[in-house]
Amino acid sequence: MSKIIKFNEFVNNDDISIEQLIKEAECTNKPDLESIANREPYKRVIALGKKVIPYLLERLDHSGPVWDRALTELVGEGLDPLEYTTSERINFWKNWAKNNDF
């Protein structure tokens, strides 16, 4: 029988850190996307670059408008929030994820 030498032997610390940062960015009482996007936790998520895309795609159903904007910034495409509903934008990203092997 093998022993687990460290408690976190099978846990990827990068994943935990990214997920914590994303949750921190989501936890706000700011009413509008512009205010949210100007918060430091949001900026730190964006600064991580494209490696956060899978995490943001997973969070769309929870915090769609926030991560819709972030995905648009990271990928350089997306739907205009003034012309499309949140549901339409979330569906866009779900389709984008399938088409781009995420």
Tens-digit pLDDT profile for residues 35-80: 888 999 999 999 999 999 999 999 998 888 889 999 999 999 999 9
Q: What sign does the CA torsion over 48, 61, 25, 75 have?
A: positive
pLDDT interval class at 6 (50, 70, 90): very low
Whole-number pLDDT of residue 4: 43
Q: What is the dihedral of CA 6, 14, 32, 90, to 10 degrees?
A: -110
Is residue 8 scored above 50 in pLDDT? no
Nearest Cα to 69, choosing from 37, 30, 22?
37
Q: How confident is the model at residue 27 (pLDDT cuts 50, 70, 90)?
A: confident
Give the position of tokens 């549901």.
Answer: 87
Eight-state DSSP code of residue 51:
G
pLDDT of residue 31: 75
Tell me the whole-structure pTM to 2 decimals: 0.79
Q: Yes or no: say if 70 and 49 are a contact pair by the CB < 8 Å rule.
A: no
Give me the chain's average pLDDT, please: 85
| Angstrom distance (rounded) from CA 21 to CA 63 | 14
Cα–Cα dist 48/44, whole Å: 7
Q: Tokens standing for 63?
A: 């915090």
Main-chain phi, psi angles of 28, to 5 degrees: -155, 155
Q: Is the pLDDT of residue 12 over 70?
A: no
